[in-house]
Chain A
């Protein structure tokens, strides 16, 4: 018997050591993560980044599409006149590519509507990234807070989803759309030629004969509190806008028709306003500056606004 007990002593010791090692290991053991977890975490991170990208893209799409919509409306106005409700027409053109309640196409909006741009990304993400996007746009608003910028905002509810996660959000997209380069609807409707809006680099304290000359011949626009805003111009309402009024000078070198008693400030000129009082200030003035085209005239209010003096007023309308 003694011999038999001695015969398994190493085995018993080995078993004890094994149990000890297992216990030691078990005390330090922390359950390992599910092997898929890092993949899922990474995938969620990718989806989150994609979501940020989607919002950025939507803003850019809104910007491009808004500019195209306004330009299309300006082209449409050239043959159809001013818009009774700029915001409603803009919304229709931006979202549907149509005007006049779907009767007419908004020019140059094929493949440029907001849904078109957004569908580009939804198609691409579904086909190539395995990410599904669904969205719904509502509450489109447009207003003008600055002379050369139109603010477009809308509410977008969207879902971004792949097999691991889903992001469900409602956000407000808001963007200032710069209107530099946009065809001025006032010229398009009432003028004899088209004129793209281009903000002048000249500051308010820099006006004189030279800078006004620069403005005329470079066809640029300045902010002026007595002038109508861009939205006013779309609606043909040539009232002043203290925040956002813009004005340009009609170019004397263009074929502009009757000009004798008109101020060359665009909204006066194209509104066919004649200054026929015959005595100042109800008169227009020629500018005593050699470089100017002799046709050029300004009303008294704008002589002051541009820091120019002249006594060559025209007596009266014939």
Chain B
């Protein structure tokens, strides 16, 4: 093979390699650039649903059981969500924080952060140090109301949860 032939041979090999690489890159990029899964979008919403659909009596937590035994929780048919609203109404901030810690530990992954707000009051904060570095922050807002007695309904208030990774 003369010198010109060698030149074409190398050029041919280079061009073909580029074509293959571009093709593979293009296909791989198409595969990875799909939208985030629905599960990611609904993490905060799922957590709220869990709170709104689980009654205290069905939640298996040691701290929660202690609260029932000590009389800090009087109606175990209330949902976890309603229980938080009740703690807020009676200004039991310390209890509500620990209660929420137990609930979030049971339903969120260790590396996930979470904040809960009741109107303007922060009720709970989990892993706040990682909040500023979060890749994705998800929020869920729910209307809250609580029947206090025969003549009064507390609310409507807004309960908001942020979940992040």
Contact surface of A with B, Cβ cutoff 8 Å: 3-4, 6-11, 13-15, 17-18, 21-22, 25, 32-33, 35, 37-39, 41-42, 45-46, 49-50, 53-54, 56-57, 60-61, 63-64, 67-68, 71, 112, 117, 120-121, 124-125, 128-129, 178, 180-181
Contact = CB atoms under 8 A, between A and B. Distances in A.
B141 A128 contact: yes
A42 B142 contact: no
B136 interface: no
B145 A42 contact: no
Nearest to A127: B158
A7 B5 contact: yes
B105 interface: no
Given A45-B45, A46-B45, A57-B145, A18 B23 contact: yes
Nearest to A8: B12
Given A14-B16, A42-B42, A21 B5 contact: no
Interface of B: 4-5, 8-9, 11-13, 15-17, 19-20, 22-24, 27, 30, 34-38, 41-42, 45, 49, 52, 140-143, 145, 147, 150-153, 155-158
A42 B41 contact: yes
A60 B147 contact: yes
Nearest to B28: A25
B151 A68 contact: yes
B23 A38 contact: no
A290 to B, nearest CB: 37
A124 B158 contact: yes
Given A8-B12, A32-B35, A129-B158, A61 B141 contact: no
Contact of B36 (A38, A64, A128, A180): A38
B139 to A, nearest CB: 11
Query: Interface residues of A: mostly helix, strand, loop or mixed?
Result: helix
Contacts of B155: 57, 120
B15 A7 contact: no
A64 B158 CA distance: 20
B47 to A, nearest CB: 13
A60 B82 CA distance: 14
B76 to A, nearest CB: 19
Question: 10 nearest interchain CB pairs?
Answer: A14-B16, A7-B8, A10-B16, A18-B23, A14-B19, A35-B35, A38-B38, A10-B12, A11-B16, A124-B156
A14 B141 contact: no
B64 to A, nearest CB: 23
B135 to A, nearest CB: 17
A37 B11 CA distance: 47
A41 B38 CA distance: 9
Given A64-B147, A181-B150, 7 more contacts: A3-B5, A13-B16, A18-B20, A41-B38, A67-B150, A129-B141, A180-B150
A99 to B, nearest CB: 19
B157 to A, nearest CB: 8
5 contacts: A3-B8, A7-B8, A10-B16, A17-B23, A54-B143
A124 B143 contact: yes
B19 A11 contact: yes
Contacts of A129: 141, 143, 158
A15 B45 contact: no
Nearest to B52: A49
